[in-house]
Amino acid sequence: MASEESVRAHVFVSGRVQGVWYRAETREMANRLALAGWVRNVPDGRVEAVFEGSKAAVDAAVAWAGEGPDLAVIDDLHVAWEEPVGESGFSMR
């Protein structure tokens, strides 16, 4: 049994988040935090991401998502907490 229960955050980020390395930076940050999940551009201009891992790591990822990389301008961050589904690795879709 794991020493710390996994959690899952499903986030949508809006603002200037496409074409500013948001997905690549998200993947690097998630890998540093040993998170599983994925990140992708949404056709409406937002970025969608799922983070699974320890509560502390997921909280850090959600906080980072609200700031983004240097070129991003975040207008809104929506977070939905969901049951973990056992994501493996972190991918950029």
What counts of helices (H) and strands (E) characterise the chain?
2, 5
Q: Which of 8, 23, 27, 46 is catalytic?
A: 23
Structure tokens at 12: 């949508």
41 is catalytic: yes
Map residue 6 onto helix, strand or coil. Answer: strand
Q: Which of 8, 27, 31, 41 is catalytic?
A: 41
Give the number of other CB atoms < 10 A from CB of residue 69: 16
Cα–Cα distance, 74 to 52 (Å, whole number): 22
23 is catalytic: yes
- Catalytic site residues? 23, 41
